[in-house]
Amino acid sequence: MTATAGADAGAVETFAASLDRLDVELTRTAPADLGATLETVASDPAVGARLPFDGVALPEWVRLDPTPAEVQAARTGISPAVLAVADYGSVVLPSTDDAAEPVSLFPERHVPVVRASDVVAGMPEAFATLGPRLREDRGSFVLATGPSATADMGALVRGAHGPREVHVVLLEDGPSTAVDPGLDGTVVDGTETAGADGTDADDADDADDRGGDGA
């Protein structure tokens, strides 16, 4: 399946190559097939945050508005990514009232869902896209890149500061998403945070990864 109208085909292919280098799996799907696709990449129990994409919703078996206990027990967290940065294989994650940030951080596997039309080539394009809205709304966002891993104690350990595996689901068609005005991110291991002025904050040590079996 190839990227459709509104998507930068070159950026999408670069994004796929960057994910491969990061040991992150990618599944491309049409919006109508999202539910079936998620059945193949998610492990039960699964929790999720609502997708801000017109005509696209998570299936009923994904627990929305999860309690802290449900997030802790979940093996998969499914959440929207408002943007993807092709050069780095990064996804831009919002923090929303329906627990999007815990959903993306605590389960063993994270499945970010992003539109092909929201894949940009690099950080200049990402800041050009997000900066004006963030300055207006005084928000921030989390930029997550690759598996969570640390070698601070010696041997490389995955999942020490976040999910162990990431499996990106790319929606191949549909218009570009609007950036959620309520974006509110924090720095976690494996992420960078960009604030309301659209500039980079400190790099964190590790990259987010979403874990579980069956991917």
3-state secondary structure 162-191: CCEEEEEEEECCCCCCCCCCCCCCCCCCCE
Structure tokens belonging to residue 122: 């690099």
pLDDT tens track for 98-142: 788 899 989 999 999 999 999 999 999 999 998 887 888 766 788
Predicted confidence at residue 205, as pLDDT, reads 39
pLDDT greater than 50 at residue 22: yes
Name the percent of the chain lying above pLDDT 90. 55
Predicted confidence at residue 200, as pLDDT, reads 43
CA–chain centroid gap for 211, Å, is 13
The answer to whether the pTM exceeds 0.85 is no
Structure tokens belonging to residue 2: 């190839």
Task: List residues bridging with 27 in a β-sheet.
Answer: 169
Average pLDDT, the chain: 78
Predicted confidence at residue 24, as pLDDT, reads 94
The kind and range of the H/E element at 131 are helix 123-137
CA distance 101 to 104: 5
Cβ(86)–Cβ(121) under 8 Å?
A: yes
Predicted confidence at residue 47, as pLDDT, reads 97
Residue type, 126: A
Task: List residues bridging with 93 in a β-sheet.
Answer: 142
Q: How many other CB atoms sit within 10 Å of the CB of residue 105? A: 26
